[in-house]
Amino acid sequence: MPSKHLPVKTGKVLDMMGSMQESMTPSARRIADYVNSHADDVTKLSIAELSQQVNVGEATIIRFCRMLGFKGFQDFKMDLAIELSSINQSDKSILDTDIAPQDSAELIGQKIQQGISNVLTETLNLLNFETLEQVAQQIKASKGVYFFGVGSSGITAEDAKNKFMRIGFNADALTNNHFMYMKASLLDETDLAIGISHYGNSVETTKALKLAKEAGAKTVALTHNPKSSICQYADWVLLNGNRQGQMQGDSIGTKITQLFVLDLLYTLLVREDVTGTMDKKLRTTRALDI
């Protein structure tokens, strides 16, 4: 059965909080900003003390904790303390990947490499692996699999089309909004539509997924923000990370995390039929030989 349940894993509080940042109310964002800046202090505060520090009501703090998947403030504090303990035991210097104007080319390369490692770790923290398995099974069961995305996410959609076609799936990628809308409206219950939008607010991709769902297709959203508009029309939501330095932009981190999630799906499908999928990949490789 389709599932949107996104439980917070023990010790993964900050990543989930960051993924929801763009969808938070001003008061919730104020709480999140305070937690990010004073995480150690928050684990020692009572709910009344935190309420005073961030100038919001205690009920707002409880709603904030429940939005993240916790029963209340005490559960939130406990998991935050576990996470901070883990961070404190590691080398904090490796978490600082912001690029400075005086950095050498070699140091920049090392920071980007570490940034990629960080964002992949964040993706693993955010992913619901039960949901990932369900989506893999739905790909296998579907007559057609259609990837929707525009801009940078459109490039990811094209890559996914190539990857899944190579192992025998009837896959296509739609990156022009008119083509997306036409194809989405013609899908049915035997099809799967996968909308790719990092921030989850792409008007074109959201509309395409909405049309696909209304037509009866099963739907998936691949996004960083589980509270974004595209998730309203998704039977399953897969989250990718976003942790990177401010001077790096979002292209490399976004691209790699999207491809990483899709590669996980691809590998799950290969795992179930190694001989068959490898045979199809070999046949498509030979077909491309000149």
Query: What are the residue ranges spanned by the domains of the chain?
Result: 1-90, 129-288
Answer with the residue of higher pLDDT: 176 or 1.
Answer: 176
Which among 196, 207, 210, 212 has a CA at the least distance from the CA of 142? 212
Do 156 and 182 touch, CB atoms closer than 8 A?
Answer: no
Tell me yes or no: is domain 1-90 CATH 3.20.20.140. Answer: no
- Checking if the pLDDT of 1 tops 60, the result is no
- In angstroms, rounded to a whole number, what is the distance separating the alpha carbons of residues 184 and 178? 10
Name the pLDDT band for 277 (thresholds 50, 70, 90): confident
Q: For the residues 75-100, what does the mean pLDDT come to?
A: 68
Listed range (75-84, 91-100, 112-121) with the worst mean pLDDT: 91-100
Q: Looking at residue 87, what is its pLDDT?
A: 64
pTM equals 0.78
**Count of C-beta atoms within a 10 Å radius of residue 266:** 20
**pLDDT of 51 over the 70 cut:** yes
Confidence of residue 60 (pLDDT cuts 50, 70, 90): very high
pLDDT above 90 coverage of the chain, percent: 58
pLDDT band at residue 31 using 50, 70 and 90 as cut-offs: very high
pLDDT in tens, 96-146: 556 778 888 988 888 888 888 888 988 998 899 999 999 999 999 999 999
83 token code pair: 């996470």
pLDDT at 61: 95
- Collect all residues with Cβ–Cβ distance below 8 Å to 89 and sequence separation of at least 6: none
The C-alpha R_g of the chain, in whole angstroms, comes to 21
Considering the domain 129-288 in this protein, what is its CATH number?
A: 3.40.50.10490
pLDDT (0 to 100) of residue 232: 96
- Burial 131-157, CB ≥16 within 10 A → b, else e: bbebbbebbeebebbbbbbbeebbbbb
